[in-house]
Structure 1
Amino acid sequence: MSEETKYVELCKGINGLDKIILREVRGCSAEVYLYGGHVTSWKNEHGEELLFVSSKAIFKPPKAIRGGIPICFPQFSNLGSLEPHGFARTRFWSIDNDPPPFPTNSSNKAFIDLILKHSEEDVKIWPHRYEFRLRITLGPGGDLMLTSRIRNTNTDGKSFTFTFAYHTYFHVTDISHMFVLSSEVRVEGLETLDYLDNLKNRERFTEQGDAIVFESEVDKVYLRTPTKIAVLDHERKRTFELRKDGLPDAVVWNPWDKKAKTIPDLGDDEYKHMLCVEAACVEKPITLKPGEEWRGRQELSAVPSSYCSGQLNPESAILSEDIGPA
Structure 2
Amino acid sequence: MTRALPITRSHGIEAVELVAPDGARATIALHGGHLLSWIPAGGEEQLYLSPTSEFAIGQAIRGGVPVCFPQFAERGPLKKHGFARTKPWQLVAAEQGESDALAVLKLGDDAATRMVWPHAFELELSVRIAGQELQIELACENKGDSAFEFTAALHSYFRVADIDATSVQGLSGLDYFDSVDQTNKSQRVDLLLPSGEIDRIYQGVGSQDLTLKEQLAAADNKERRVEIRQQGFEDAVVWNPAAAKCATLADMPADGWRQMLCIEAAAVMKPIRLEPGESWAGLQSLNVVA
Deviation per CA, 1:249-302: give whole Å up to 9, x if none. 000000000000000000000100100000101110001011000011111111
TM-score calculated relative to the size of structure 1: 0.83
SS at match of 1:186: strand
- Tell me, in whole angstroms, the C-alpha distance in 2 between the residues paired with 1:73 and 1:253: 18
Q: Deviations over 1:9-58 (max 9, x none)?
A: 4211222x110001112222000000000000001233511000001011
Aligned to 2:153: 165
Equivalent residue, structure 1, for 2:121? 130
CA distance in 2, matches of 1:135, 1:51: 17
1:75-224 matches, cutoff 5 A: 75-96=71-92, 108-139=99-130, 141-154=131-144, 157-176=145-164, 184-201=165-182, 203-224=183-204
TM-score, normalising length: structure 2: 0.93
Moved more, 231-240 or 273-282: 231-240
User: Match for residue 20 of structure 1?
Assistant: 16
Matched, 1:280 2:266: yes
Read off the aligned partner of 2:137 and give its amino acid letter.
T
2:26 matches 1:45? no
Unmatched 5+ stretches in structure 1? 99-105, 177-183, 305-326
State the secondary structure of the residue aligned to 2:180. Answer: helix
Counting matched residue pairs gives 282
Following the alignment from structure 1 to structure 2, what is the Cα–Cα distance between the partners of residues 107 and 13? Answer: 25
1:209-254: per-residue Cα shift (whole Å, max 9, x none)?
3310012100000010152211001116211111110001000000
Tell me, in whole angstroms, the C-alpha distance in 2 between the residues paired with 1:292 and 1:85. 23
SS in 2 for 1:219: strand
Find 1:239's aligned residue among 225, 228, 235: 225
Residue by residue over 1:156-182, the C-alpha shift from the partner in whole angstroms, topping out at 9 and shown as x without a partner, is: x31110001000000012113xxxxxx
8 Å contact from structure 1 (residues 187, 232) kept in 2: yes
Identity %: 36
Partner of 2:219: none
Do residues 74 (structure 1) and 70 (structure 2) align? Answer: yes
SS state of the match for residue 259, structure 1? helix
Secondary structure of the equivalent of 1:66?
A: coil
Greater than 6 Å deviation, 4+ residue runs: none
Q: 1:21 to 1:285 in 2, by over 3 A?
A: same
CA distance in 2, matches of 1:147, 1:63: 23
Given that residues 8 and 111 in structure 1 are in contact (C-alpha distance below 8 angstroms), is that contact kept between their aligned partners in structure 2?
no
Instruction: Find the aligned partners of 2:194 and 2:62 in 1 and give their Cα distance.
Output: 21
Aligned residue for 2:54? Answer: 58
CA distance in 2 between counterparts of 1:254 and 1:200 reads: 14
CA RMSD, 1 decimal: 1.9
Q: Hey, what's the Cα distance between the residues in 2 that align with 1:29 and 1:224?
A: 32
